Chain A
Amino acid sequence: MNFSAESLAILGGALALAGGLGGAAAGMAMAGYSGIAILAEEPKYLKSVIILAALPMSRVFYGFIILIFVLTTVTPKIAAMPDPGGAGFAVAACSIISASAFLFSGIYQGNVCSAGISSLIKTNGKILTNSIMLAVFVELIAVLGLVFTIMALSLLNLM
């Protein structure tokens, strides 16, 4: 059977959100392991652990932004084209950029946060700011994945 260009575009949007969900779950879990180990020793660091373990969650919302863009803007544009041709597959390919950006940055940001959490006791909680700063470097990859996907869709005249 033939798949239309719109449905391939929606497949792309769903792929981006799936990458974001997977990255966020894996990253938060990795930070969570060391969080539990630290809290078993010193329960007073609960606030810092919660802050660091929640950082990878933003991927979910970035992925959702891509899906919303595809559903509200890209799909109507493709439907209005007289001959969409390969436009649907192009959107699916652009979403693979953001899906892998969200997945990998989520997992590895979880590792950075986990390293920060495991040094909380030794530094009396002072490492919090520095580890947020280093985690934001990895966050930047996810933001750039979002921005570049939107840029690629605009260059394709689909937004």
Chain B
Amino acid sequence: MVVDSASLATLGGTIALAGGLIGSSWGMAIAGSAGVALLSQDPKQRKNVIILASLPMSRVFYSFIIMILIVTTVVPTMNSMPEPGNYGLAVLSIGSMSSVAFAVSGIYQGSVCAAGIAFLSKTNGRILTNSITLAVFVELVAVLGLVFTIIALNMLGLM
């Protein structure tokens, strides 16, 4: 079986999307379990719990951007090259890099949101702003993973 570079690049895009899906589902599940426990005691915090538990969802969209970029821009560029030889594994490894960023940051952002949710009743909901601030720090890692992936693909001349 011969695997050509365009299909390796597409594999990179799907691995990136898989990392984003894993990170967001896992993170939302961690925040959601804390949210269910809190809501059983204090149902009026439902709005705040929904806000905090949905924060890790953004990974899905970031990784979908990478998938779309690779399928619509990188793969046609590689197909038009006379000798694409080297680029398949390069795109695959850059895609896996962003996949790690999305998966790890999603899981850990879920834990930060869970910590915020656990303190909602005690502080009467005032912790919401502060925990969003601290969750945004972890979000930054995912955004930087997206940006650096695009920069790296640009430097390879594939976009």
Contact = CB atoms under 8 A, between A and B. Distances in A.
Contact of B104 (A10, A22, A32, A35): A22
B28 to A, nearest CB: 15
Contacts of A57: 137, 140-141
Give chain A's interface secondary structure class. helix
Interface in A19-40: 21-22, 24-26, 28-30, 32-33, 35-37, 39-40
B90 A6 contact: yes
Contact of A14 (B93, B115, B141, B142): B93
A14 B122 CA distance: 43
Nearest to A12: B93
B138 A32 contact: yes
Contact of B141 (A28, A33, A49): A28
B115 A11 contact: no
Given A14-B152, A57-B140, A36 B127 contact: yes
B141 A25 contact: yes
Given A1-B2, A36-B112, A25 B101 contact: yes
A1 B141 CA distance: 34
A10 B89 contact: yes
Contacts of A35: 130, 134
Contacts of B127: 36, 39-40
Contacts of A14: 93-94, 96-97, 152
A18 interface: yes
A65 B148 CA distance: 11
B94 A10 contact: yes
Contact of A71 (B119, B126, B131, B155): B155
Q: What 4 A-B pairs are tightest by C-beta distance, nearest first? A: A29-B108, A7-B89, A11-B93, A40-B119
26 contacts: A1-B3, A6-B86, A6-B90, A8-B89, A10-B89, A11-B89, A14-B96, A15-B93, A18-B96, A21-B144, A22-B101, A25-B104, A25-B142, A28-B134, A28-B141, A32-B115, A33-B112, A40-B119, A43-B126, A46-B133, A53-B137, A54-B137, A57-B141, A67-B148, A71-B152, A71-B155
Given A36-B119, A57-B141, A68-B155, 17 more contacts: A6-B86, A15-B93, A15-B97, A21-B145, A22-B101, A25-B101, A28-B108, A30-B108, A35-B134, A36-B115, A36-B116, A40-B119, A40-B123, A46-B133, A53-B134, A53-B137, A57-B137
